[in-house]
Amino acid sequence: MNHHVLFIGNDPAVAEAIQEALAQPGDEPPTPVWVRSLADGVARLAERGIDAILLDLFLPDSQGIDTFNEVFRAAGRVPILVLTARADEDLARQAVQRGAKDRVLKEHIDRYSFRLTLRHILERAAIDEALFLERERAEVTLNSIGDGVISTDKQGKVTYLNPVAARMTGWSHDEASGRMLSDVFCIIDGETREPAPNPMDIAVRQNKAVGLPHHCVLIRRDGFESAIADSIAPIHDQDGQVTGAVMVFRDVSEARVMELKLSHLAQHDYLTDLPNRMLLKDRLSQAIALAQRHGSRVAVLFLDLDRFKHVNDSLGHAIGDKLLQDVGKRLTAAVRSSDTVSRHGGDEFVVVLPEIEQAHHAARHAEKIQAALSAPYAIAEHDLHVNKRGDQHFPG
């Protein structure tokens, strides 16, 4: 690849020395471009296509460190090599401190060391450009994905925050940078409401990828909560030493709601929303275990609606379904919050009464339930009655 090197200087002897040094045989030599003033140099840089700059700080229209400052602003990422006289080395050192890649004495522009210095600067610039492009690609990718990304250093201070993470935490990149992760990424256990452990600390300490607890909730800066899932992994340097961690997380609120809904449906009757046989079995086992531990009893009541088939056949399944729903609501209202009302199937219901001291206590509960069920049910302009004997009456 042919490089173009811009010499900004007014000394013909230096220009000739540069020309001779670059014209030596070997690899394809850089092409020198010579301008005599700061204004011409800035104008040439605006045209692009320059790979390195050789700069004399003393020009007809600019002197000293101000010359470097102007060129540095115009150069962008083009590397600058300052050419200096021995008496001006202090100015050259200032230029290096402000961003110049190196400095060379004008009298040392020779065929070997000068070309070697320039080649090193060009190679370094190519590597820096490749790294810049790679970093740009990575940042564009991270800014485009739908997940939040946060990285920290080894001390747990935030070093990067992508737009999704900024939106979910309520902290901008500039606000979050340098802050401790715990200030920016506030998480709690969604079930206990207790603060969750810092995932970055765990990843760094254990030097392995980890995940958050299943029910983790992120609290945004303004107090808004969202369920999240994520993974955290340590970041290593070339020697394998941990230098920080990166976390990728996403909002799973909708998935969590669906998960809870499916879990509820798996344990409840689809029509009445009462516990189904599976949940009833679990509740009954808990009640028996509790009774054994406390020396109490468990009562189980079985109920069915006589002639319920006649309701479906004569008035339709929609009214029959509504009757079952209303019966379930009355049963739930007639028992204690610690009791379980379950639809066992069809027109059958089961009531589990834990911690009953005497059998006659269960009988009183049964009488209360019968009384609650005996009141008429007004459904679709029909008054349906379920009396204590289980009879149902339908108006003509």
Provide, for the chain, the percentages of residues in helix, strand and coil under a 3-state DSSP scheme, each rounded to the nearest 5: 45, 25, 30
Q: Pick from 62, 65, 42: which is nearest to 53 by CA?
A: 42
What's the number of CA atoms in the CB half-sphere (13 Å) around residue 44? 21
The DSSP bridge pattern shows strands 348-356 and 377-379 to be: unpaired
Say whether 8 sits in a helix, a strand or coil.
strand
**Catalytic site residues?**
347
CA distances from 258 to 203, 229, 253 (A): 30, 15, 9
Helix boundaries (H) for the chain: 12-22, 38-46, 65-75, 89-97, 113-144, 163-169, 173-176, 181-184, 199-206, 253-267, 277-294, 308-315, 317-334, 359-374
Tokens of 366: 């049964």
230 burial type by CB count under 10 A (0-12 exposed, 13-18 middle, 19+ buried)? buried
Question: Taking the CA atoms of the chain, what radius of gyration do you get in angstroms?
Answer: 40
Whether 383 contacts 374, CB under 8 Å = no
